[in-house]
Structure 1
């Protein structure tokens, strides 16, 4: 029977963009965002077309009409009065001339342009919660922009909102767990703001996905749910496994791999490999959180090292880190992944290790993996089935 490995790894497209989209004033539209799997601009009755988007004055008049509709609905709801309905003809609204009004309308016009002209299918949107103590929400944009797509809410029947469908990403990070600089990006007052991935890619993708690759880099979360905090030596096995696979990566695929004497490597034991070939420059950051439960969070400048760690930890904790499994198993990185591509990647990355690493080192790696799984429940959210 063929062993199947599902890494639970997210391969983030190199051209992805990340936007913060606020759920209306004081987050009043947040529940609708989440319940309806859509994000939308709090501009009821905004009837858009490509011509409207391309003309600043026309778009401004549509925004002024939407503001009038919103004020009318709010007055009726709050005061219980039947008031005259505002005009639904945008051309009847005079363009603003006061600086304050120009700024307000210009601010909303920018939001509309970003919402339809910049956010694309496959991008990620982040929706901040009401407080720093609740999770922020994030989702993949499900479709290309279409100005005809709208959403109707019960308190605005007949005056739909411009909307985009999203597929929410499951995670538990709150805003207060983010760095101050990223948290400030989520607090900006603009309705739609793009986040600079040159500055925040690793922090965003680590918190959303745990294990991911993006361009030439990536990160991996190694979970230890059974950590009890009673024995200072209980994390040694998983620490040595991490070091062992970083060393293996350097031996077979690192920048100085050609300098290694393969003959001496094949005669080395498990710890000797770590001592001689571990290169800390391969790891950009190594975070350890052990408050019971615990986990390791590793960010690397090499996407290949992330794959090696994911495969290596999965195989050793399952006790099947051996040539037969590496050469016959089928591997996927995500539910929609091309299995052949990920399987070929596993063979390419892990195959040379089977040739050059001693049998005793491989056996010790499997033993440490089994111990780490038994004592700490070590896993990378990878499923191995046989």
Structure 2
């Protein structure tokens, strides 16, 4: 049997964008987003012919008309106040009608957002599920959705693919929660700390530019602090193990007691701030200032938890389900794990003790990573 490592580690392009999108006042479009597999702004009754140029007066006239149509629906659709559907009736009449923020929001969603960009969509209340979605395609002016509250006045929309997570709002850090409670319709996320947190929830382990991130769930309903501390200790151990591997000193590393090995090889400059959610079930995650470390930590965690044979792991193959192609990160991870396990084959006692410690910690906390090991039958099986 050949061991296959699926790191489920998303490799994210450096120019990738994240937006927090609020599904309307009172989150009224939250279920509409799910039902239509799309996202949109509150602009019913119009159709863009191309990706909208917000500097074009014709586009601005359409948006003024949409605001009138939306207001009419919200007021109960009184026949006497039915708005005109003639674009020419919506010239500039009132000062401040074209609010800059409103125009910028239209540009962000219908022009700037590109396929693969991540959208964070909060629901109502702290316990509600936060929707995470990726744009599926370029802007299609013919794609509009029917929303019951707007009758025949369809809404220009963008198709999305939802990422299957069950993250509730309270599981995010305070900075992320503040972004999700901001009343602005769409917010571009630019701060690296905020981006890392959203990447952790959306993708688990990931690589973004010259950094990576690690995300692990703890699923037991009751978790003892010592057990959680053991999990964190082992995560740090694998990070130090990576440093020793790259320094060509892994044989020295595995000859040391675990605490001594960490003290000698742990490099604080390679690790970012850790995020811990202590509610059960919960999680912990951390950005790492090296694109390869997160994958290595996840790989060693799952290999040790399952008590994998070091000899079998010397020929392990990496097949990453989170990407549509083999990346340089996948090839580097495969080489690193193979090199590590070749040295570990000469230290069975050390590896067996480590596996027992890792399995006990994982069992007590219900530890889960997105990375997994599968067996592939050989030609002789």
Match of 2:367 in 1: 378
Task: Tell me: CA distance 1:337–1:345, structure 2 relative to 1, closer, same or farther (3 Å).
Answer: farther
Distance in 1 between the 2:294 and 2:92 partners? Answer: 55
Distance in 2 between the 1:52 and 1:241 partners? Answer: 52
Match of 1:347 in 2: 334
Match of 1:244 in 2: 237
Distance in 2 between the 1:107 and 1:47 partners? Answer: 21
Match of 1:87 in 2: 84
Task: Tell me: CA distance 1:226–1:61, structure 2 relative to 1, closer, same or farther (3 Å).
Answer: closer
Decide which of 303, 307, 312 is 2:295's aligned counterpart.
307
> Counterpart of 2:5 in 1: which secondary structure?
strand
Asked whether the 8 Å contact 2:36–2:145 carries over to 1, the reply is: no
Task: Tell me: CA distance 1:4–1:353, structure 2 relative to 1, closer, same or farther (3 Å).
Answer: closer
Task: Tell me: CA distance 1:272–1:208, structure 2 relative to 1, closer, same or farther (3 Å).
Answer: same
Asked whether the 8 Å contact 1:152–1:160 carries over to 2, the reply is: yes
Between 206-215 and 265-274, the greater mean CA deviation after superposition: 265-274
- 1:268 is displaced (CA, Å) by 4.1
The TM-score with structure 1 as length reference comes to: 0.83
Question: Unmatched 5+ residue regions in structure 1?
Answer: none
Between 265-274 and 179-188, the greater mean CA deviation after superposition: 265-274
Match of 1:69 in 2: 69
Deviation sequence 1:70-107 (CA, Å, 0-9, x none): 233344xx36x5447433220122312424x343xx44
Between 296-305 and 233-242, the greater mean CA deviation after superposition: 233-242
- 1:199 is displaced (CA, Å) by 4.3
Asked whether the 8 Å contact 1:59–1:109 carries over to 2, the reply is: no
Match of 1:113 in 2: 107
Match of 1:27 in 2: 27
Distance in 1 between the 2:19 and 2:143 partners? Answer: 20
The reply to whether residue 280 of structure 1 matches residue 268 of structure 2 is yes
- 1:313 is displaced (CA, Å) by 0.5
> Counterpart of 1:125 in 2: which secondary structure?
strand
Specify which structure has the higher proportion of helix: 1
Task: Tell me: CA distance 1:354–1:272, structure 2 relative to 1, closer, same or farther (3 Å).
Answer: farther
Asked whether the 8 Å contact 1:24–1:41 carries over to 2, the reply is: yes
Distance in 1 between the 2:318 and 2:120 partners? Answer: 30
Match of 1:15 in 2: 15
Match of 1:169 in 2: 163
Asked whether the 8 Å contact 1:330–1:343 carries over to 2, the reply is: no
- 1:309 is displaced (CA, Å) by 0.6
Asked whether the 8 Å contact 1:96–1:102 carries over to 2, the reply is: no
Asked whether the 8 Å contact 1:149–1:164 carries over to 2, the reply is: yes
Distance in 1 between the 2:203 and 2:13 partners? Answer: 13
> Counterpart of 1:139 in 2: which secondary structure?
strand
Task: Tell me: CA distance 1:377–1:25, structure 2 relative to 1, closer, same or farther (3 Å).
Answer: closer
The TM-score with structure 2 as length reference comes to: 0.84
Deviation sequence 1:127-166 (CA, Å, 0-9, x none): 2322344233221011111223211223434321110011
Decide which of 144, 153, 178 is 1:150's aligned counterpart.
144
Match of 1:57 in 2: 57
The reply to whether residue 367 of structure 1 matches residue 362 of structure 2 is no
- 1:55 is displaced (CA, Å) by 4.4
Task: Tell me: CA distance 1:25–1:340, structure 2 relative to 1, closer, same or farther (3 Å).
Answer: closer
> Counterpart of 2:264 in 1: which secondary structure?
helix
> Counterpart of 1:186 in 2: which secondary structure?
helix
The reply to whether residue 193 of structure 1 matches residue 187 of structure 2 is yes
Task: Tell me: CA distance 1:182–1:50, structure 2 relative to 1, closer, same or farther (3 Å).
Answer: same
Aligned residues: 373
Deviation sequence 1:165-203 (CA, Å, 0-9, x none): 111223344444444433333333332221114342212
Match of 2:379 in 1: none
Question: Unmatched 5+ residue regions in structure 2?
Answer: 376-381
Distance in 2 between the 1:293 and 1:155 partners? Answer: 37
Distance in 2 between the 1:322 and 1:278 partners? Answer: 23
> Counterpart of 1:285 in 2: which secondary structure?
coil
